[in-house]
Amino acid sequence: MKRLSAATPKSDWSLLGTSVSGSKSCLGETRTVLTMPKDDSWNVVYCYSRAQAILDGVLVDVTETAKAIGFKLHTVVTDHLFHGYVEVPAGLEGEGQSAAGRLHDLIVLALFAARRAVNTDRVTFKVDFLMAPGRKETVEVVAHIGPGDHGEPVLTIMLPEDD
pLDDT at 50: 94
Q: What confidence category does residue 51 fall into, taking pLDDT thresholds of 50, 70 and 90?
A: very high
User: Is residue 20 within 8 Å of residue 30, measured between CB atoms?
Assistant: yes
| Eight-state DSSP code of residue 12 | H
Nearest to 80 by CA among 53, 101, 105, 112: 53
Least confident of 30-34, 63-67, 141-145, 150-154: 30-34
Nearest to residue 103, comparing CAs of 123, 122, 84?
A: 84
> In this predicted model, what pLDDT tens digit does every residue of 76-116 receive, in sequence order?
999 999 999 999 998 887 888 999 999 999 999 999 999 99
CB 30 within 8 A of CB 48: no
Position with higher pLDDT, 41 vs 127: 127
Long-range CB contacts (within 8 A, 24+) of 89-95? 89/131, 89/132, 91/132, 91/133, 92/130, 92/132, 92/133, 95/130, 95/133
- Whether residue 124 has pLDDT greater than 90: yes
Q: Region 44-59: what's the mean pLDDT?
A: 90
What percentage of the chain has pLDDT greater than the value 70?
74
Q: What is the pTM of this model?
A: 0.72
How far is residue 93 from each of residues 58, 96, 144, 145, 151, measured CA to CA in Å? 26, 7, 32, 34, 41
